[in-house]
């Protein structure tokens, strides 16, 4: 037995030791949730609302957004996640779209927002 250990490379023993320390130390997980109340917004027309919502959904909920990836990660002693709620995304989209900050999204503003969203998604392909 001693002969086997003596022949084992020092690197492998170090690796086993590090893994044992990580596996036995546990993992601290912390999550920060970023939330805010949903901003109220008016639309100049139903077409402006339709254009805005279609672009908003394309931006934040693209096709395949419901799919998930399975991955195996090495255990780390500390893990921190940031979770952003839908309201934060929605308010960001409204602030981006409402260029003159009057609380109403016009058809021109909705179209400009939709153009940036579609341009952004086209550049990713």
Nearest distance, CB of residue 76 and Ca ion, angstroms:
46
Would the CA dihedral through 112, 116, 121, 125 be positive or negative? positive
From residue 56, alpha-carbon distances to 10, 11, 40, 46 in Å are 56, 52, 15, 15
* Residues that contact Ca ion, how many (by CB under 5 A): 4
Strand-pairing partners, residue 84, are 34
86 belongs to the binding site for Ca ion (CB under 5 A): no
100 belongs to the binding site for Ca ion (CB under 5 A): yes
Nearest CB to Ca ion, comparing residues 24 and 100: 100
Nearest CB to Ca ion, comparing residues 40 and 123: 40
3-state secondary structure of 38: coil
Nearest CB to Ca ion, comparing residues 53 and 84: 53
Contact predicate 57/7, CB 8 Å? no
Nearest CB to Ca ion, comparing residues 52 and 117: 52
Can you tell me the distance from the alpha carbon of 58 to that of 60, in angstroms, rounded to the nearest whole number? 6
Nearest distance, CB of residue 15 and Ca ion, angstroms:
60
Nearest distance, CB of residue 42 and Ca ion, angstroms:
9
Chain residues in the site for Ca ion (CB under 5 A): 98, 100, 102, 104
């Amino acid at each position: 037995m001693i002969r086997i250990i003596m022949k084992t490379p020092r690197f492998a023993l170090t690796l086993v030791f590090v893994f044992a320390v990580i596996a036995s130390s546990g993992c601290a997980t912390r999550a920060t949730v970023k939330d805010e109340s949903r901003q109220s917004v008016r639309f100049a027309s139903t077409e402006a609302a339709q254009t805005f919502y279609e672009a908003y959904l394309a931006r934040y909920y693209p096709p395949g957004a419901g799919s998930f990836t399975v991955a195996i990660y090495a255990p780390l002693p500390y893990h921190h996640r940031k979770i952003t709620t839908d309201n934060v995304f929605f308010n960001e989209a409204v602030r981006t779209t409402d260029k003159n900050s009057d609380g109403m999204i016009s058809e021109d503003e909705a179209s400009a927002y939709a153009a940036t969203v579609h341009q952004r998604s086209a550049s990713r392909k």
